[in-house]
Amino acid sequence: MMLENLRSVSSRVHLRHLKSEDAAGPYHDWINDPEVTRFLVTRLDYQSVEAIEGYIQEMNTRRDEIMLAVCDNETDRHIGNVKLQHIDPVHQTAWLSIVIGPTGSWGKGIGTETIALMTGIGFDDLNLRRIDASCFAENIGVQRAFEKCGYQHEGRTREQYFAEGRPWDAVRLGILRGDPPLWREFLS
Protein backbone atom coordinates (compact mmCIF):
# COMPACT_ATOMS: atom_id res chain seq x y z
CA MET A 1 0.00 0.00 0.00
CA MET A 2 1.35 3.40 -0.91
CA LEU A 3 0.44 6.44 1.18
CA GLU A 4 0.04 9.89 -0.31
CA ASN A 5 1.44 12.84 1.65
CA LEU A 6 3.48 10.64 3.95
CA ARG A 7 4.35 12.64 7.12
CA SER A 8 7.13 10.76 8.72
CA VAL A 9 10.01 12.64 10.31
CA SER A 10 11.42 12.43 13.83
CA SER A 11 14.60 13.98 15.21
CA ARG A 12 16.85 11.17 13.93
CA VAL A 13 14.99 9.30 11.20
CA HIS A 14 12.45 9.64 8.45
CA LEU A 15 10.32 7.05 6.71
CA ARG A 16 9.85 6.75 2.97
CA HIS A 17 8.45 4.24 0.54
CA LEU A 18 10.89 1.51 -0.44
CA LYS A 19 12.27 1.56 -3.98
CA SER A 20 13.62 -1.34 -6.05
CA GLU A 21 17.11 0.16 -5.95
CA ASP A 22 17.10 -0.21 -2.13
CA ALA A 23 17.59 -3.95 -2.65
CA ALA A 24 21.21 -3.55 -3.75
CA GLY A 25 22.09 -1.04 -1.04
CA PRO A 26 22.71 -1.43 2.69
CA TYR A 27 19.43 -3.38 3.00
CA HIS A 28 21.04 -6.41 1.34
CA ASP A 29 23.94 -6.35 3.79
CA TRP A 30 22.03 -6.04 7.04
CA ILE A 31 19.13 -8.34 6.13
CA ASN A 32 21.75 -11.07 5.66
CA ASP A 33 23.60 -10.29 8.91
CA PRO A 34 22.85 -13.10 11.43
CA GLU A 35 23.12 -10.68 14.35
CA VAL A 36 20.51 -8.34 12.81
CA THR A 37 18.15 -11.16 11.84
CA ARG A 38 18.53 -13.24 14.99
CA PHE A 39 14.96 -12.48 16.08
CA LEU A 40 13.40 -12.38 12.60
CA VAL A 41 11.51 -15.07 10.71
CA THR A 42 13.78 -14.42 7.69
CA ARG A 43 16.87 -15.36 9.73
CA LEU A 44 17.07 -18.78 8.11
CA ASP A 45 17.14 -17.72 4.47
CA TYR A 46 19.78 -15.87 2.47
CA GLN A 47 18.13 -12.87 0.81
CA SER A 48 19.48 -12.21 -2.69
CA VAL A 49 19.20 -8.76 -4.29
CA GLU A 50 16.62 -10.22 -6.70
CA ALA A 51 14.56 -11.70 -3.85
CA ILE A 52 14.62 -8.37 -2.00
CA GLU A 53 13.55 -6.51 -5.17
CA GLY A 54 10.62 -8.90 -5.58
CA TYR A 55 9.67 -8.46 -1.93
CA ILE A 56 9.74 -4.66 -2.24
CA GLN A 57 7.54 -4.80 -5.35
CA GLU A 58 5.10 -7.11 -3.59
CA MET A 59 4.93 -4.91 -0.49
CA ASN A 60 4.32 -1.79 -2.58
CA THR A 61 1.29 -3.39 -4.27
CA ARG A 62 -0.35 -5.06 -1.28
CA ARG A 63 -3.47 -3.41 0.09
CA ASP A 64 -3.20 -4.94 3.57
CA GLU A 65 0.43 -3.98 4.30
CA ILE A 66 2.61 -0.88 4.35
CA MET A 67 6.36 -1.36 4.49
CA LEU A 68 8.57 1.71 4.68
CA ALA A 69 12.30 2.33 4.69
CA VAL A 70 13.79 3.84 7.86
CA CYS A 71 16.45 6.39 6.86
CA ASP A 72 18.97 8.36 8.90
CA ASN A 73 18.16 12.09 8.76
CA GLU A 74 21.81 13.18 8.54
CA THR A 75 23.03 10.74 5.88
CA ASP A 76 19.75 9.60 4.25
CA ARG A 77 21.17 6.06 4.62
CA HIS A 78 18.60 3.22 4.64
CA ILE A 79 19.02 1.70 8.12
CA GLY A 80 15.88 -0.37 8.62
CA ASN A 81 12.33 -1.23 7.66
CA VAL A 82 9.04 -0.87 9.46
CA LYS A 83 5.79 -2.49 8.48
CA LEU A 84 2.10 -2.35 9.32
CA GLN A 85 0.70 -5.70 8.24
CA HIS A 86 -2.61 -7.52 8.38
CA ILE A 87 -4.31 -4.12 8.12
CA ASP A 88 -7.98 -4.80 8.73
CA PRO A 89 -10.20 -1.81 7.84
CA VAL A 90 -13.31 -3.50 9.26
CA HIS A 91 -11.87 -4.13 12.71
CA GLN A 92 -9.46 -1.16 12.40
CA THR A 93 -6.44 -3.19 13.50
CA ALA A 94 -2.93 -3.99 12.26
CA TRP A 95 0.36 -5.55 13.38
CA LEU A 96 3.56 -3.50 13.52
CA SER A 97 6.99 -5.01 12.91
CA ILE A 98 10.40 -3.37 12.74
CA VAL A 99 14.02 -4.16 11.95
CA ILE A 100 16.89 -1.73 12.42
CA GLY A 101 19.79 -2.97 10.33
CA PRO A 102 23.29 -1.85 11.13
CA THR A 103 24.10 -2.91 14.69
CA GLY A 104 25.83 0.45 15.13
CA SER A 105 22.36 2.02 14.99
CA TRP A 106 21.10 -0.01 17.94
CA GLY A 107 20.61 1.46 21.42
CA LYS A 108 20.22 5.04 20.18
CA GLY A 109 16.44 5.42 20.26
CA ILE A 110 16.06 4.92 16.53
CA GLY A 111 13.71 1.97 17.00
CA THR A 112 11.58 3.98 19.43
CA GLU A 113 11.28 6.89 17.00
CA THR A 114 10.47 4.51 14.15
CA ILE A 115 7.73 2.80 16.17
CA ALA A 116 6.34 6.23 17.10
CA LEU A 117 6.25 7.33 13.45
CA MET A 118 4.51 4.16 12.27
CA THR A 119 2.07 4.25 15.19
CA GLY A 120 1.16 7.79 14.10
CA ILE A 121 0.58 6.62 10.54
CA GLY A 122 -1.61 3.79 11.85
CA PHE A 123 -3.77 5.98 14.08
CA ASP A 124 -3.74 9.30 12.22
CA ASP A 125 -3.63 8.24 8.56
CA LEU A 126 -5.25 4.80 8.57
CA ASN A 127 -7.74 5.47 11.37
CA LEU A 128 -6.77 2.29 13.19
CA ARG A 129 -8.25 1.54 16.59
CA ARG A 130 -5.60 -0.93 17.72
CA ILE A 131 -2.03 -1.87 16.77
CA ASP A 132 -0.39 -5.11 17.91
CA ALA A 133 3.21 -6.29 17.95
CA SER A 134 4.94 -9.55 18.81
CA CYS A 135 8.58 -10.35 19.41
CA PHE A 136 10.90 -12.95 20.87
CA ALA A 137 10.72 -12.64 24.67
CA GLU A 138 14.51 -12.32 24.76
CA ASN A 139 14.43 -9.26 22.49
CA ILE A 140 14.41 -6.79 25.39
CA GLY A 141 15.53 -3.83 23.25
CA VAL A 142 12.49 -3.89 20.99
CA GLN A 143 10.17 -4.48 23.96
CA ARG A 144 11.55 -1.33 25.61
CA ALA A 145 11.09 0.65 22.41
CA PHE A 146 7.42 -0.38 22.20
CA GLU A 147 6.89 0.35 25.91
CA LYS A 148 8.31 3.88 25.56
CA CYS A 149 5.72 4.50 22.84
CA GLY A 150 2.88 3.40 25.13
CA TYR A 151 2.44 -0.21 24.05
CA GLN A 152 1.40 -2.52 26.87
CA HIS A 153 2.36 -6.14 27.45
CA GLU A 154 -0.70 -8.25 26.75
CA GLY A 155 0.61 -11.75 26.99
CA ARG A 156 3.29 -14.33 26.49
CA THR A 157 3.06 -17.30 24.16
CA ARG A 158 5.19 -20.19 25.33
CA GLU A 159 7.50 -21.82 22.79
CA GLN A 160 6.12 -19.80 19.86
CA TYR A 161 9.35 -19.91 17.87
CA PHE A 162 12.05 -22.49 17.28
CA ALA A 163 15.54 -21.13 16.63
CA GLU A 164 19.13 -21.93 17.51
CA GLY A 165 18.12 -25.48 18.41
CA ARG A 166 15.55 -24.58 21.05
CA PRO A 167 12.06 -23.15 21.56
CA TRP A 168 11.61 -19.45 22.38
CA ASP A 169 8.67 -17.65 23.95
CA ALA A 170 6.98 -14.69 22.27
CA VAL A 171 5.71 -11.53 23.93
CA ARG A 172 2.63 -9.74 22.62
CA LEU A 173 2.26 -5.98 22.98
CA GLY A 174 -0.56 -3.67 21.96
CA ILE A 175 -1.75 -0.10 21.95
CA LEU A 176 -5.23 1.37 21.54
CA ARG A 177 -6.08 4.70 19.98
CA GLY A 178 -7.47 5.80 23.36
CA ASP A 179 -4.31 4.93 25.33
CA PRO A 180 -2.05 7.79 26.43
CA PRO A 181 -0.24 8.84 23.22
CA LEU A 182 3.30 8.50 24.58
CA TRP A 183 4.47 7.86 21.01
CA ARG A 184 3.76 11.51 20.10
CA GLU A 185 6.64 12.61 22.36
CA PHE A 186 9.10 11.14 19.84
CA LEU A 187 7.79 13.00 16.80
CA SER A 188 9.33 16.27 15.63
Query: Which tens digits make up the pLDDT trace of 85-141?
Result: 999 999 999 999 999 998 888 999 999 999 999 999 999 999 999 999 999 999 999
Q: What is the pTM for the complete model shown?
A: 0.93
Determine, yes or no, domain membership for 3. no
Q: What is the span of the domain harbouring residue 124?
A: 13-186
Give the number of other CB atoms < 10 A from CB of residue 84.
24
Q: What percent of the chain has pLDDT over 90?
A: 76
The β-bridge partners of 114 are: none
Note whether residue 145 is domain-resident: yes
**For 128, how many CA atoms within 13 A lie in the half-sphere containing its CB?**
25
Predicted local distance difference test score (pLDDT) of residue 45: 76
Asked if the structure places residue 7 within a domain, the reply is no
As a 3-state breakdown, the chain gives helix, strand, coil percent values, each rounded to 5, of 30, 35, 35
CATH number of the domain that residue 17 is part of:
3.40.630.30
What is the number of domains present in the chain? 1
- Cβ contacts of 15 within 8 Å, gap of 6 or more: 6, 8, 9, 68, 69, 70, 71, 82, 114, 117, 118, 121
